[in-house]
Structure 1
Amino acid sequence: MPNVGLIDKLLNVMNKPKVLVFGNFNYSTNNLCGQTVKTRNVYQLLKSKENQYFSEVVYFDTDSLNSNKLGLFQGLYHVIKADELFYLPATKNLTYIFPFVFILSKLFSAKIHFVVVGGWLGEFLQSRPIYRFMISKVHHIYPETDALCNCLTMDYGFNKVKRLNNFRDTNFSPVQSATGNRIRLVFMARVHPLKGVETLFKLSQRLNKLNLENVSIDIYGPILEDYKEEFNKLLNTANKYITYRGVLQPNEIYQVLSQYDIMLFPTQFYTEGFPGSILDAYISGIPVIASNWLYASEFIDHTSGAIVEFNNVDDFINKVLMLIENPEKIDALKQGARAKSHEFSSDKAWEIIKSITFPIKQ
């Protein structure tokens, strides 16, 4: 007699899809940025559903191609074997690798879930009709913002678009306390001139002129290689208000950020998506002061921080100084920041992915 229970289990596994997450994990150097963190989070979320919803969840790290170009064949082999492909490209990946991924997905019936990191896709597609055609044929597209969703549906006519917020899987709960005599400001992102790093140094100069002794600015994040020399010069000539603290590891972020009062985000990248550092700030219970990049108003409001005129250094500095002078306003914003974080949970992300991957049959 055949083992009916074993046969049922085998059939159950066979009916569950095999998942591939294809993107930049950067496990070789552990250089964390918005791209790598989101790619890892998507993988970890799907991996947590293995056995229950999927027969297997595997990944291919495109960062490995920097040291082994032939490794692309391994990645494409994974595409052939996958049923559901969660694809998180940056522009280089999309330009040179996606055409191969797309063709193989059609030949071997893999459903591509295009998870967008950042807000650049609409601009990328403007003069690329072949890419517009290919992306119009993927199973689903998941932008981070309503504005990009509208761009893809209204401007390009894509009809399988669903917003998927940037998210974190964490139970961290900050201890809320009133802002003390010392106000601690923090920047956490790539240390890159277009992230507005030099605005921080100009802020420190203003603090020095005003002789505000109760304020500090700490910088965390990987330094752009081509910017290291210039950044070190700025540090060497900076005053006592500003300090570079290195790179935080994922298990350190919330505990460290929760010790600060305000996150500074003076970005000059107009097409930012939803920067992970802002989400990390909300989870840590601190508000965000940001320049008005393309999607800023979707993520920051008067309850969780403040938005200032894009690329206006004086406006940014004046807003920070106003809050320093009114610490009770910072305390109110801390409450709003923590409340805002609940919109970006892994549970809500899974609800969206599950609804697309396993639609309810009518």
Structure 2
Amino acid sequence: MSKIIFIGGIGHKNEFGGELTKNKMIVSYLKDEGYRLKLVDTHNAKQRPWNILLLPLYFLLYPKAELIISTSLDNVISLLKILKVLKTNRNVVYWGIGGSFPKRIKEGLIDKELLSVFSIIIVEGHSMKDTLLECGFKNVIVCPNFKKIFYIPTPIKPQIPKFVFLSRIQPEKGVQFILDVAKKLNKDGLENKYVIDFYGGISSDFSAQFDDELKPFSNVNYKGTLNLNSKEGYDLLSSYSAMLFPTIWSGEGFPGVIIDAYISGLPVIATDWSLNKEFIIDGKTGFILPVDDVENNMYLVMLSIINKQVDIGAMSDECQAQVKKYDVNNAIKYSGIQSYI
């Protein structure tokens, strides 16, 4: 197999996050397929500059090695400028992170000429591909986000509906929408009819406000972090009724938490934002909320679940039936990526 120089955030063994988690799986997959990798870890590059210094060394030692870049374009603009000037003959692949960069290219915020160095651009969704095609790119393929699926729990749904939020705790991820809907449900006398649990790291500039917002609630809780590297973590997640994901974050792509929800048999209540509608089947694996009226629509969906007007069991089964396509081996295999590396 050929040698690959891989550039992207990887982090230490116990460091995780959107980019880090995805790149760990890409690296593991490529190694399993027999590729010989030289890694340039861009995570915390300012604190670990020696990692970046490996890049010119690898360029000199391995002049024919392919190059895979899997990080935000903002992190590698300088590198792209150098590659464009050098007119490298290497096969250079961009494995896109997040969902916002095609829109930024279309709006002129990223110089699309810099991306001419890529032999192939891999994106997480078809709407991203369509945007790049509109910008004149032809070398675009779709590979959805993925997970290494090692366990499928048997969901045991609670008598009283339990909703879960599992993401970065900040307003852009829809946390304030959830809190405002909970206030309305409780005001309507439903405080003892449902539970909401939050998991995830709390944004430092939202921490104090989040703590204050939770104080009046007896049925809305912060539960810390959830370890999904263990069967126990997925067993716990599968004990919930549905996942809340009313994001309006500008960098959203196809978040891994949707796959985690499907693994655990959780329908996802999500905004019509970024790629959500491509991967959540409205009425089957979740509910899509119009972004112009998130709170009222989320209230109605949650109320219908509380009143047992939704067949959560059937939706749970459908989520777990869908998740196989997002296993790392299946997603990469069926995208056709191996034809280009």
What's the TM-score, normalizing by structure 2? 0.88
Q: Pick from 143, 146, 168: which aligns with 2:126?
A: 146
Residue 169 of structure 2: aligned partner: 191
Name the structure 2 match of 1:41: 25
Contact 1:309 1:316 in 2 (8 A): no
Residue aligning to 1:115: 95
Q: Which residue does the alignment assign to 1:8? A: none
The match for 1:321 among 285, 297, 303 is 303
Of 262, 268, 277, the match for 2:242: 262
Question: Given the alignment, which residue of 236, 261, 282 partners 1:281?
Answer: 261
Match of 1:169 among 148, 159, 163: 148
The alpha carbon displacement at 1:231 in A equals 2.3
SS in structure 1 of the partner of residue 45 of structure 2:
helix
Q: 2: distance between equivalents of 1:238 and 1:78?
A: 57
Which residues of structure 1 form unaligned runs of 5+?
Answer: 1-15, 358-362
* Cα drift, residue 354 of structure 1: 1.6
Residue pair 1:20, 1:59 contacting (<8 A) in 2 also: yes
Shift of 1:149: 0.6
Partner of residue 307, structure 1: 288
Give the conservation status (yes or no) of the 8 Å contact 2:155–2:239: no
Structure 1 residue ranges (4+ consecutive) displaced by more than 6 angstroms after TM superposition: none
In structure 2, what residue type is equivalent to 1:207? L
Aligned match of 1:5: none
Asked whether the 8 Å contact 1:271–1:293 carries over to 2, the reply is no
Residue identity opposite 1:185 in structure 2: F
Using the TM superposition, name which of 157-166 and 252-261 deviates more. Answer: 252-261
Q: Secondary structure of the residue that 1:243 maps to in structure 2?
A: strand
Q: What is the RMSD of the two structures over their aligned residues, measured on CA atoms?
A: 2.4
Distance 1:129 1:220, change over 3 A: closer
Partners of 2:168 and 2:200 within 8 A in 1: yes
23 and 329 in structure 1: CA distance in 2 versus 1, 3 angstrom threshold: same
Cα deviation, residue 150, structure 1: 1.0
TM-score by length of 1: 0.84
Identity within the alignment, %: 26
**Structure 1 range deviating more: 333-342 or 221-230:** 221-230
Tell me if structure 2 keeps the 8 A contact 1:79–1:85: no
What secondary structure, in the 3-state scheme, does the structure 1 residue paired with 2:142 have?
coil
CA distance in 1, matches of 2:340, 2:162: 43
Superposition deviation, residue 139 in structure 1:
1.5
Over 3 Å counting, the alpha-carbon distance change for 1:350 and 1:300 in structure 2 is closer
Aligned-residue offset at 1:103 = 5.2
Name the count of aligned residue pairs: 332
Give the Å deviation of 1:65: 1.2
Question: What is the letter of the counterpart of residue 247 of structure 1?
Answer: T
Of 21, 24, 28, the match for 2:6: 21
CA distance in 2, matches of 1:198, 1:238: 15
1:61 alignment partner, one of 15, 34, 41? 41
> Using CA pairs below 8 Å that are at least 6 residues apart, which structure has the higher relative contact order?
2
